[in-house]
Amino acid sequence: MSNVIYQAQPPLEFIPPKFNPLFLGAVHLLLPSWISWQTAITQIEADNIEVLVDLYRQFQAGKIRFMLAFRHPKIDDPFCLTYLFSQLVPRVAREQGTVLQSPIHAHFIYDRGIPLWAGSYVGWVASRIGATPIQRGKADWTGLRSARDLFANGKFPMAAAPEGGTNGLSEKVSPLEPGIAQLGFWCAEDLHKDNRAEQVFIVPVGIKYSYVDTPWRAIAGLLSELEAASGLQINSANQGNIPCLESLYPRLLTLAEHLLALMEKFYTRFYHQNLPDVKTEISDRNEALAVRLQALLNTALQIPEQYFDLQANGKLSDRCRRVEQAAWNYMFREDFKDVKALSPVEKALGDRVAEEANARMWHMRLVESFVVVSGNYIREKPTLERFAETTLILWQMIARIKGDQTSQRPQLGKQQVKMTIGEPISVSERYPTYKKNRLGARQAVADLTNDLQQVMEELI
């Protein structure tokens, strides 16, 4: 990771999918043990699997093409889906007497940036299971062509997260990106041009995590660590309380307010930003937190936007993607394709630019963690899961501030996963509107994205 951060690099290369059935077989064989060893997940189950069994039956019969659009609260989601393909779908198919060809799998679309922080081996593994990468912040025509070809002609259906990234919240869907809908219409267009009769569908998949037991003591311990790390004075009277939501929620609010105050002071003093003072205008602590947080996120994102000369247009998630791509353009340089041909001075100046770009991107990463966080997530539904998720997001924030990128996210307790297969959404039925004209195409993509958003929220 250090080379990526502090040194200018040649442009990011596309990692072509090189599906290897023997490698996938090994992955399917070892997956249950790996999940048990490397994650907190002890149980994975799914509803409406028979819908997916029928979709795979029709796909293998050459009648349909489809993409699974899955919720993306955690980095464990692809493992859960692969377990669904390798274990649950074949089991239900056998029970129904439905004959499916093996393996049951999908071509995943993944963010090209993942191998940068997770390790280059991830790109190698993803390639061998037939996944295809895409750079999210620009028109990555190579990545889009690969995904488009796989959708229309691949051996398996597609799978992608329309939210674009994890948000850490099982019961909050981030605003969906339009890429999934666009790929669906491109697939319908390609089939139409080739006089193929397959119908195209997008299949929403909900993924929700819950704790097997109630790890309030672990949450209380993590809260104490975060309070100490942020310099917050600990009220010793609180330490004797039996950990529960009622006793911990005031501590969480106080921690959030304290961290906000620190960050407001940070951006006001050292980046000369003006932040609204709402602490005395809004009496409700949750509402005040929500207003202050949104103001802080907007301010933090303006720092890299000003540096990269970007317009602050659109949703926070869209602005984050543009900042990320601008930083990558400074780090992965077209004019650095032949690094050995550069003079030492040219190379040193390139490294300086890469280092500064990474420093600016730090502000975006901070914002990225809070894009869908509100001050009312716990209050509107006070559950263990929501409290734990919010606490973990604050942990991630403090870890980013400390520059601690090596620590794994704390495991507060064993978890179980519930996936729900939604009803397929027909892209083919909407294709006549899409192909009318450019305005119709834009409206069709927007309508499909909005409908998918609503369905995915209902699956929660």
Each residue of 80-130: pLDDT tens digit? 999 999 999 999 999 999 999 999 999 999 999 899 888 889 999 999 999
Residue 11 maps to a domain: no
More confident position, 280 or 292: 292
Amino acid, res. 428: S
Instruction: Look up residue 400 and give its two tokens.
Output: 């980013």
pTM: 0.92
Q: Answer yes or no: is pLDDT of 236 > 70.
A: no
Partners of 44 in the β-ladder? 417
Of 262, 214, 263, residue with least CA distance to 242: 214
190 and 290 together in one domain: no
Long-range pairs of 38-42 with CB within 8 A, sequence gap ≥ 24: 39/76, 39/79, 40/411, 40/412, 40/413, 40/414, 40/415, 41/76, 41/79, 41/80, 41/414, 41/415, 41/416, 41/417, 42/212, 42/414, 42/415, 42/416
Residue 163: CATH number of its domain: 3.40.1130.10
- For the stretch 35-46, pLDDT in tens is 999 999 999 999
What number is the average pLDDT over the span 211-217?
95
Of 101, 84, 177, 185, residue with least CA distance to 137: 177
**241 three-state secondary structure:** coil
Residue 410 maps to a domain: no
295 and 437 together in one domain: no
251 and 390 together in one domain: yes
What number is the average pLDDT over the span 422-435?
97
Q: What is the DSSP letter of 332?
A: B
Residue 409 maps to a domain: no
Of 274, 276, 443, 259, residue with least CA distance to 366: 259
Residue 137 maps to a domain: yes
Q: Are 158 and 150 in contact (CB under 8 A)?
A: yes
Question: Would you state the pLDDT for residue 353?
Answer: 95
Residue 337 maps to a domain: yes
Q: Is 102 left (phi over 0), alpha (psi -120 to 50) or beta?
A: beta
343 and 451 together in one domain: no
Question: Would you state the pLDDT for residue 371?
Answer: 77
Instruction: Look up residue 454 and give its two tokens.
Output: 């609503």
What number is the average pLDDT over the span 11-24?
96
Query: Between helices 216-229 and 384-402, what is the axis angle to 10°?
Result: 30
172 and 222 together in one domain: no
Query: Between helices 285-308 and 344-368, what is the axis angle to 10°?
Result: 160
Residue 448 maps to a domain: yes
Q: Are 70 and 205 in contact (CB under 8 A)?
A: yes
Question: Would you state the pLDDT for residue 370?
Answer: 85
Instruction: Look up residue 49 and give its two tokens.
Output: 């699997």
Q: d(Cα 291, Cα 53) in Å, to the nearest integer? A: 46
Tokens 């093409």 correspond to: 65
Instruction: Look up residue 305 and give its two tokens.
Output: 């936007």
Instruction: Look up residue 222 and give its two tokens.
Output: 């993590």
Dihedral sign (CA 18, 23, 28, 33)? negative
Q: d(Cα 230, Cα 245) in Å, to the nearest integer? A: 21
329 and 205 together in one domain: no
Q: Are 136 and 111 in contact (CB under 8 A)?
A: yes
Question: Would you state the pLDDT for residue 237?
Answer: 56
Dihedral sign (CA 124, 169, 180, 177)? negative
Span of 8-17, 112-121, 148-157, 426-435 with lowest mean pLDDT: 112-121
Instruction: Look up residue 303 and give its two tokens.
Output: 């720092």
Q: d(Cα 60, Cα 449) in Å, to the nearest integer? A: 27
- Give the residue numbers spanning the domain of 123: 16-212+415-459
Partners of 160 in the β-ladder? 69
304 and 345 together in one domain: yes
273 and 178 together in one domain: no
Banded pLDDT at 152 (limits 50, 70, 90): very high
Banded pLDDT at 2 (limits 50, 70, 90): very low
Domain count along the chain: 2
255 and 205 together in one domain: no
- For the stretch 334-374, pLDDT in tens is 899 998 899 999 999 999 999 999 999 999 999 988 877 77
Q: What is the DSSP letter of 86?
A: I
The last residue of one of the domains, among 402, 424, 439, is: 402
Q: Are 357 and 333 in contact (CB under 8 A)?
A: no
What number is the average pLDDT over the span 57-62?
98
Mean predicted lDDT score pLDDT of the chain: 92
Question: Would you state the pLDDT for residue 298?
Answer: 94
Q: d(Cα 291, Cα 250) in Å, to the nearest integer? A: 18
Banded pLDDT at 1 (limits 50, 70, 90): very low
Q: d(Cα 80, Cα 330) in Å, to the nearest integer? A: 35
Instruction: Look up residue 19 and give its two tokens.
Output: 């599906």
228 and 336 together in one domain: yes
Q: d(Cα 208, Cα 326) in Å, to the nearest integer? A: 33
74 and 172 together in one domain: yes
Residue 6 maps to a domain: no
Q: Answer yes or no: is pLDDT of 207 > 90.
A: yes
370 and 281 together in one domain: yes
Question: Would you state the pLDDT for residue 160?
Answer: 97
Q: d(Cα 371, Cα 72) in Å, to the nearest integer? A: 14
Tokens 């995904």 correspond to: 147
Residue 82 maps to a domain: yes
